[in-house]
């Protein structure tokens, strides 16, 4: 079985596009109820509103991570990406540690494909924290072994019991990229997709596992 990555992106774009509208409409309706000051069922209203916010955040995240679309352009790319990841993690057991100090320096070199790869690395890293923890993101200007300019992307999942399941490790491996994909399923396909995105940029996502820590890194040539 072969996997058409562009087809997966198009399907994801369509799916997210069709779901974002209704989710946004529900969210606007909840805000209207709150503005009206309705007291009856206030707790239930807050719960629904919170769930819709999470739904919208996840759809926006998936749309960029898996689809062909890009950022909205309302904010600088790295700022918008950080906000998107923060919204995706909000309300969960994982805290985001993504410093903004290098945003100005990195802005000219961090392209849309790099951000898409980063979001997919974040998604895989979340699966390495079943009990929650800290998800660290680092971007840096670097050079390849040949001295060519590159962007280093690193995501670190730190927390009690941090580990990556074997099927995700396999999906991330070069063997899955180059060979049989019959073992892919709904729980590990994002690992395969992440590695294929890296491959499209002539890069590779490397995985380093230590006690209570799993790291992911890729070097993308400019």
Which 8-state DSSP code applies to residue 122? H
In the chain, the percentage of residues whose pLDDT exceeds 90 is 43
Q: Which of 169, 199, 154 is nearest to 5 (CA)?
A: 199
pLDDT band at 161 (very low <50, low <70, confident <90, very high): very high
pLDDT band at 47 (very low <50, low <70, confident <90, very high): low
Architecture of domain 93-222 in this structure: 2-Layer Sandwich (3.30)
**Range 47-60 burial, b when 16+ CB lie within 10 A, else e:** ebbeebbbbbbebb
Q: Over the stretch 116-130, which tens digit does the pLDDT of each residue have?
A: 999 999 999 999 999
Check residues 107 and 133 and name the one with the higher pLDDT: 133
Check residues 141 and 10 and name the one with the higher pLDDT: 141
Check residues 134 and 21 and name the one with the higher pLDDT: 134
Structure tokens at 179: 């060979």
Predicted confidence at residue 104, as pLDDT, reads 85
Predicted confidence at residue 152, as pLDDT, reads 96
Kindly report the backbone phi and psi dihedral angles of residue 42, in degrees, each rounded to the nearest multiple of 5, phi listed first. Answer: -60, -40
Predicted confidence at residue 11, as pLDDT, reads 59
Structure tokens at 155: 């995501």
Check residues 37 and 172 and name the one with the higher pLDDT: 172
pLDDT band at 177 (very low <50, low <70, confident <90, very high): very low
Q: Can you tell me whether residue 163 is helix, strand or coil?
A: coil
Predicted confidence at residue 87, as pLDDT, reads 93
38's CB contacts (< 8 A; 6+ apart) are 45
Beta carbons of 129 and 157 less than 8 angstroms apart: yes
Do you know the residue count of the chain?
A: 222
92's CB contacts (< 8 A; 6+ apart) are 132
Q: Is the pLDDT of residue 163 over 80?
A: yes
90/85 Cα distance (integer angstroms) = 9
Q: Over the stretch 57-99, which tens digit does the pLDDT of each residue have?
A: 888 898 888 887 777 777 888 999 999 999 999 988 999 999 9
Q: Over the stretch 93-102, which tens digit does the pLDDT of each residue have?
A: 999 999 998 8
Q: Is the pLDDT of residue 194 over 70?
A: yes
25/110 Cα distance (integer angstroms) = 33
Output the pTM of the full model: 0.83
**H/E element, 97:** strand 94-97
CA angle 204, 209, 212 (to 5 degrees): 140
Q: Is the pLDDT of residue 1 over 50?
A: no
Q: Which of 63, 76, 67 is nearest to 5 (CA)?
A: 67
Which 8-state DSSP code applies to residue 75? S
């Amino acid at each position: 079985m072969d996997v058409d990555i562009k087809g997966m992106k198009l399907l994801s774009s369509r799916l997210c596009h069709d779901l974002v509208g209704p989710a946004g409409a529900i969210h606007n309706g909840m805000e209207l109820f709150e503005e009206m000051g309705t007291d009856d069922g206030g707790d239930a209203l807050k719960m629904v509103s919170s769930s819709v916010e999470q739904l919208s955040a996840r759809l926006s995240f998936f749309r960029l991570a898996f689809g062909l679309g890009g950022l909205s352009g309302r904010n600088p790319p790295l700022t918008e990406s950080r906000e998107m990841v923060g919204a995706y993690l909000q309300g969960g057991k994982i805290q985001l540690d993504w410093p903004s100090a290098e945003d100005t320096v990195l802005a000219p070199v961090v392209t849309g494909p790099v951000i898409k790869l980063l979001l997919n690395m974040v998604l895989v890293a979340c699966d390495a924290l079943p009990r929650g923890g800290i998800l660290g993101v680092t971007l840096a200007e670097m050079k390849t072994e040949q001295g060519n300019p590159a962007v280093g992307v690193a995501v670190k999942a730190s927390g009690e019991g941090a580990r990556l399941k074997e099927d995700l490790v396999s999906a991330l491996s070069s063997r899955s990229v180059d060979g049989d994909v019959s073992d892919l399923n709904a729980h590990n396909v994002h690992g395969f997709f992440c590695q294929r995105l890296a491959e499209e940029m002539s890069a590779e996502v490397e995985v380093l596992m230590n006690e209570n820590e799993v790291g992911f890194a890729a070097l993308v040539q400019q």
